[in-house]
Each structure stands twice: as structure tokens, then as C-alpha cells.
Amino acid sequence: MPVPFYLGDTEWAPVLRLAFLTALYALVLIAEGGRTVILLGMLGVLQTALYTALFYLAAALAARAVERVREPPVRIAAVGTAVFLLVASSLLPIYQTPLSSTRLHSDLWHLLE
């Protein structure tokens, strides 16, 4: 799922990319230091924690909703459909990645370039 975040420029990408870029900022901070890198690194850590908590809450609510479905075939179909739609959408170039050195729009396979 793409989420908006700001690390010097606004991107719409998964939280995994946000964590990846935050780790890169941490490496730059270790190598060079600087106030701007500290600010962007902390911003990345805060955004990663916020989105992780929100996705954890959404997953917990979805799991509770699935538990309320009594018929196993309906439950399996609902979960299978949700997983299929999430995987299929991630393979499309829906992620806006202006911080990427190779492309403005990415799919899941090219996200960490």
C-alpha cells in the first residue's frame, strides 16, 4: 500500500521504502553528520513508526472482522481476494518515487532502486 511521506521530497510508496530511505539517512549521518540529516532522519523514524502503528491497527481490525465470518469458505474467499488485490496492485507502477535515481513511478520489483 502506498503511503505519502516526506524526506526532502514527497513520495507515495510503501513503508518499506520509507524505512529503507531512513536507513540511508542514518548511514549518511554516521559518515558525515549535519543538522539537516539529523532532522530528516528523525522525520523518517517518526513517519515509519506512525505508519507501522496505523497498519498494525488496520490489520488487527481486519483480523477481528474476518473472525466474525462464520463460514470458512467465505472467510477463505475474502482473505484470498484481499491478498490477490494487494499483490496485483503492487505490480503496477502506482508508487510515486521522485527520490529514485532511475524512475519517477515504480512498481514493487523496482522500488528499492
Q: Please report, for the chain, the start and end positions of each structural domain, with discontinuous segments joined by +.
A: 3-110
Share of the chain above pLDDT 90, in %: 28
Q: Give the pLDDT confidence of 12-38 residue by residue, as tens digits.
A: 888 888 898 899 888 988 898 888 888
pTM score: 0.76
Residue 3 has pLDDT above 90, yes or no: no
Residue recorded with cell 507502477:
93
Calculate mean pLDDT across residues 45-68.
Answer: 93
More confident residue, 97 or 69: 69
pLDDT of residue 49: 95
3-state secondary structure 27-55: HHHHHCCCHHHHHHHHHHHHHHHHHHHHH
